Amino acid sequence: MSETSPAPGGPSIDEQAITAAIDAALAAIAAAATTSELKQVRIDHVGDASVLSTANRAIKDLPKDQKAAAGKLVGQGKGRVQKELAARQQKLAAAEEEAALAAETVDVTLPTDLRPRGAAHPLTVLQDRINDFFVGIGWEIAEGPEVESSWLNFDALNADPEHPSRSLQDTLYVAPEGSGMLLRTQTSPVQIRAMLERGAPLYVACPGTVYRADEIDATHSPMFHQVEGLAIDKGLTMANLVGTLDAFAAEIFGGKPITRLRPNHFPFTEPSAEMDFRCFSCEAREGLDHDADPSCRVCGGTGWIEMGGCGMVHPNVLRAAGVDPEEYQGFAFGLGIERILMLRNSVADMRDMVEGDVRFSQHYGTEI
C-alpha cells in the first residue's frame, strides 16, 4: 500500500477514510430502494462535497511521490462507486417503470357500464323536417315567446273581446290577475311579431309550443306544438295558399298532394277555411278518382285528413301589425305538429309523446 500518512508540512489524504468512504458508498447504493433514494446517495457519496471528491481534488497538491498511489486509490474507488451507481440506477429504473406500467394497465376486456344512447324526440325530428321544408322554399323561421301578451294572442289577431277562446276554460293566464299575460294558445301571435319586426313582404314559418286548459288524454294535451305559416306580399291569393299546402303535404306525407279547403271561421283570416289533405295512406292517395279504403285508419274511410285552419290574412290583422292592406295581401295557416306525427307515424296516443320513455323516441324518432 502506498504511503498516505501526512508528510510533514504538506498535504496528504487519509487512506482509511477513503476506503471507509468507498465501503459506505457501496453499502448505501445497495440499500437504495428507489431511484430518488439513489439520487441522494450519489450526491452524498460522489457529489462535490463528498469525501471522495474532496480527496480527488486534494491529489494535485500532494507531494509528487504520493500522487500516483493516492490517484489510484481514489480513482479506482470512485470508479467502482460510479459503476455500482449506474448498475443500481438501471435496475431500480427498470423496476419502477414496470411497476408504473402495471399500475396504469387498462384491461380492455373488462365489461363496461354501457349507457344506452338516447334519441331525438320524434316531435323534434318532425319539427326540424318541417322547418327544413320551409327554409327549402325560401321562407324564414320566426319564433316568439311562450308567455305572451293577450293583446298579441287575441286582440291583434282580431279576436272579439267576447270570443269564447279567451275564457279561463280555454286559456291559461299568468298571475297576477290583470297582468295581461298568458301562455299562448296558438302560434298565430308570432305572425304579428314577425310583421312588426320584419315588415312586408314576408314569408315565415313559426313553429312552437302552445298551451290550452285541457286535460291530457289520447287526443288532447295541455301543451302541444303548432307551426304557423304566413306569407305577405303583393297580389297573393288563395291559389298561392293551396300551392304551398300541396308542396307541404308532398314533402311531409308523400303521395299525390291534394289540398281541399272547406269554409270555416277564424277571426284573423277572411275568408277562412279548414284544410284537408287527401289521405296519404290508402287508395285515396292515388287521386280524386280513387275511392278511399273504408277501413283506412288514417282517413277513417273518408279519403281526407283534417289538417288545420287557414285563410287570407284579415285586413284588421295587417293594420294591427303596421302593414297596409291596400298594398299587401297575405295568407296564413296553422298546423298541429302532434297531429301530423300521429297521422304520419301512426302514433295512437298523445300521452306517449309526453311520458318521456326513450323507447318511444328510439322507435319513432329515428328517420330513415
Binding-site annotation, residues: 270
**C-alpha grid cell for residue 12?**
496528504
Listed ranges 27-35, 138-146, 326-334, 352-360: which one lies at the site for ligand DAH (CB under 6 A): 326-334
3-state helix, strand, coil in the chain (%, to 5): 45, 20, 40
| Interacting span for ligand DAH (CB under 6 A) from 56-64, 131-139, 288-296, 330-338 | 330-338
Q: Select from 69-77, 197-205, 250-258, 328-336 the region that touches ligand DAH (CB under 6 A).
A: 328-336
Residue 332 makes contact with ligand DAH by CB under 6 A: yes
| CB 310, min distance to ligand DAH, A | 5
Q: Is 221 in the site for ligand DAH (CB under 6 A)?
A: no
For β-strands 202-211 and 181-183, DSSP reports them as unpaired
CB of 153 to ligand DAH, least distance (A): 10
Selected range binding ligand DAH among 84-92, 238-246, 247-255, 302-310, rule: CB under 6 A: 302-310
Q: Does 333 bind ligand DAH (CB under 6 A)?
A: yes
Contact 188, 208 (CB under 8 A): no
| Alpha-carbon gap, residue 171 to 149, rounded angstroms | 12
Please give the annotated binding residues for Mg(2+), written as ranges: 270
User: Taking a C-beta distance cutoff of 8 angstroms, is the pair 41, 85 a contact?
Assistant: yes
Told to check if 257 binds ligand DAH by CB under 6 A, we report no
Which residue, among 357, 346, 336, 362, has the nearest Cα to 223 in the 3D structure?
336
| Interface region with ligand DAH, contact rule CB under 6 A, candidates 76-84, 297-305, 327-335, 343-351 | 327-335
Does the protein bind ligand DAH through residue 241 (CB under 6 A)?
no
Nearer CB in complex with ligand DAH: 212/278: 212
Residue of 149, 153, 269, 329 interacting with ligand DAH (CB under 6 A): 269
Minimum CB separation from ligand DAH for residue 333, in Å? Answer: 5
Alpha helices in the chain (DSSP H): 15-31, 35-46, 51-58, 64-103, 122-136, 150-153, 189-198, 238-253, 315-320, 337-345, 358-364
Where in 106-165 is the site for ligand DAH (CB under 6 A)? none
Min CB(348)–ligand DAH separation in Å = 23
Instruction: Please answer whether residues 233 and 200 qualify as being in contact, where contact means their C-beta atoms are separated by less than 8 angstroms.
Output: yes
- 3-class DSSP assignment, residue 307: strand
Q: Give the residue, chosen from 309, 329, 337, 365, that forms a contact with ligand DAH under the rule CB under 6 A.
A: 309
- Toward ligand DAH, which CB reaches closer, 258 or 310? 310
Amino acid at 19: T
Residue with smaller CB distance to ligand DAH, 75 or 243: 243
Q: Could you give the strand order of the β-sheet that contains 259-266, starting from the edge strand earlier in sequence?
A: 140-141, 202-211, 223-233, 329-336, 304-313, 269-278, 259-266
**Residue 31, Cβ neighbours under 10 Å: how many?**
11
Measured from the CB of residue 263, what is the shortest distance to ligand DAH in angstroms? 12
Residue 216, CA distances (Å) to 211, 226, 352 in order:
12, 17, 11
For ligand DAH, the closer of residues 194 and 298 by Cβ is: 194
Sites of contact with ligand DAH (CB under 6 A): 186, 188, 228, 266, 269, 308-311, 332-334
